[in-house]
Amino acid sequence: MNEWSNKTPLAQQAKRALIALKTSLEPGSPYPLQLIRKGLEDRELCPVSRQDRADLLDALDHLDGMPERALELIIRGPEPTEDEEFVPIDPNLTPEELILELVFRLKISLNALDALPKRSAN
C-alpha cells in the first residue's frame, strides 16, 4: 500500500467515520476500503440487496491485494471529468451516508468495468 492512501482527505474522512462507528482501525489497510467492508457487513449501515452485498464483498476480497486499484475505483467516482483527478465527496456526510456513497461509487465503477456478475449490474 502506498503511504499516501491513508493520508488523503477521503481516507481521513473514512477514518473519522470508522472511529465514530467504534470500529478498530487497521493502519495497514486503506480506511475507505475498511469503511466499505464495515458497511457491507452491517445491514443497518448499508441497506443494499443481499446479492449486491455478496457481490461487493467478493469484489473487495479480490481488491484487497490491489488497494491502490480499489481506491482509484472509489476516489475517481462514477463520473469524473477530464479536468478532475477525482470527484470530491461532501465532507459533511454522516458515517452512514459516506458508506452508501463509497459503496455506490465502487458498484458503479465495477459495473463500468463489467467486473460484477450481471445479476448485480442494475
pLDDT of residue 87: 66
User: Domain range for residue 21?
Assistant: 3-120
Other beta carbons within 10 Å of 105: 21
The DSSP call for residue 8 is: S
Model pTM? Answer: 0.81
> Could you tell me the pLDDT band of residue 76, with boundaries at 50, 70 and 90?
low
Report how many domains make up the chain: 1
Residue 115 DSSP symbol: -
pLDDT exceeds cutoff 50 at 1: no
* CA neighbor of 34 nearest in space, from 13, 18, 50, 47: 18
